[in-house]
Amino acid sequence: MNFSPAIGIGRLLSGFMSFGKKYGIEWWIMIIGALIVLAIIFMAVCARIIAPFSPYDQNAGPQLLPPNEKHIMGTDNLQRDVWSRIVFGAQTILRVAILAAIISSAFGITLGLISGFTGGFFDKTLSLIMDSVYSFPGLILAIAFATMLGPGVINITLAVAVIYIPTYFRLVRGQTLSIKEELYVEAARAIGASRTTILWQYIFPNVIATTVVIFSLNVADAIMIEAALTYVGLGLPPEIVDWGMDLAMGKKFLVSGQWWLITFPGAMISLLAVGFTMFGEGLSEILNPRLLER
């Protein structure tokens, strides 16, 4: 029982490298994306340990200080440390985006499965509604819902969640429709499998692979929408730490050249979205290799 951690890590790394050689650059894109995401999640989870100041502390340092040793990202107009706000802001945005994606996928996948499987009038109507929502600018709907529901973390999560349901719906419905016609489904029906069984045991597993990819990209999108909503001032009360809101606030000081107020929150939003996107795109290439790419 001699498990040296070095050997374990070595094995892991060589495992990575062999995957890397097999799949090429897409594998690395996926890994880098995953690393970025994990790093930021880590930052969010350990916020209290990592951040030198409280994000609400209005006495962290002198006002509007550019980045220096004590405040690596400077301070804002309320004398708060920007870096601390970034660290805690990660919590907000991750919470909203991931939760919204989970809600979206739950509803979208279920509805897609049922609608595709059942067909008929129900399917036609639902598809029409979903298609219309899908083609409509998501941001406007999100703004509408956010205004309607008022500020609050749960509310903004719901607002963001609703927009993405049609995406899952369309994808899952499409796949359900084609899988439904496959021979082995017919066979299952012939031996008396109930419709629920067919749905869950046969169709659902086939759908899952693509859904994971969409989920990742969904989170990336949700991050963008959440930040956009808070940037325009909807969705969250000012007490909550959020990157989008910090951007909106920092915007006022742009003209006086205090660049650190907008550069860092915006960069973090981009980075987090990039992380999820890279993960999703890399994964999608691996699951569906486009052979011509080689």
- φ, ψ dihedrals at 21, nearest 5°: -65, -35
Q: Does 35 bind other proteins (CB under 8 A)?
A: no
Minimum distance from residue 133 beta carbon to other proteins (Å): 7
Minimum distance from residue 90 beta carbon to other proteins (Å): 16
Q: Which of 49, 191, 255, 291 binds other proteins (CB under 8 A)?
A: 255
For 233: left if phi > 0, alpha if psi spans -120 to 50, otherwise beta; the answer is left
Q: Does 154 bind other proteins (CB under 8 A)?
A: no
Q: Which of 47, 98, 269, 283 binds other proteins (CB under 8 A)?
A: 269
The Cα–Cα gap between 275 and 271 comes to 6
The residues in 86-125 that bind other proteins, with binding defined as CB under 8 A, are none
Task: Output 28 or 110, the one with its CB closest to other proteins.
Answer: 28
Minimum distance from residue 182 beta carbon to other proteins (Å): 27
Q: Which amino acid appears at position 132 of this protein?
A: S
Surface-to-core class of residue 257, CB atoms within 10 Å of its CB (0-12 exposed, 13-18 middle, 19+ buried): exposed
Minimum distance from residue 154 beta carbon to other proteins (Å): 15
41: Cβ–Cβ under 8 A, 6 or more apart, which residues? 90, 94
Task: Output 9 or 267, the one with its CB closest to other proteins.
Answer: 267
Q: What share of the chain is helix, strand, coil (3-state, %, to 5)?
A: 75, 0, 25
Minimum distance from residue 92 beta carbon to other proteins (Å): 15
Surface-to-core class of residue 10, CB atoms within 10 Å of its CB (0-12 exposed, 13-18 middle, 19+ buried): exposed
The residues in 169-198 that bind other proteins, with binding defined as CB under 8 A, are none
| Helix or strand holding residue 204 (H, E) | helix 204-231
Q: Does 239 bind other proteins (CB under 8 A)?
A: no
Q: Which of 16, 122, 136, 200 binds other proteins (CB under 8 A)?
A: 136
Q: Does 203 bind other proteins (CB under 8 A)?
A: no
The residues in 217-236 that bind other proteins, with binding defined as CB under 8 A, are 220, 224, 227-228, 231-234
Task: Output 133 or 212, the one with its CB closest to other proteins.
Answer: 133
Q: Does 145 bind other proteins (CB under 8 A)?
A: yes
Q: Which of 7, 128, 208, 209 binds other proteins (CB under 8 A)?
A: 128
The Cα–Cα gap between 175 and 181 comes to 10
209: Cβ–Cβ under 8 A, 6 or more apart, which residues? 287
Identify the residue whose tokens are 């995406």.
Answer: 167
Query: How long is the chain?
Result: 294
> How far is it between the farthest Cα atoms of the chain?
76
Residues that bind other proteins (CB under 8 A): 25, 29, 128-129, 131-133, 135-141, 143-145, 147-150, 220, 224, 227-228, 231-234, 247, 251, 254-255, 257, 259, 262-263, 266-267, 269-270, 273-274, 277-278, 281, 290, 292-294
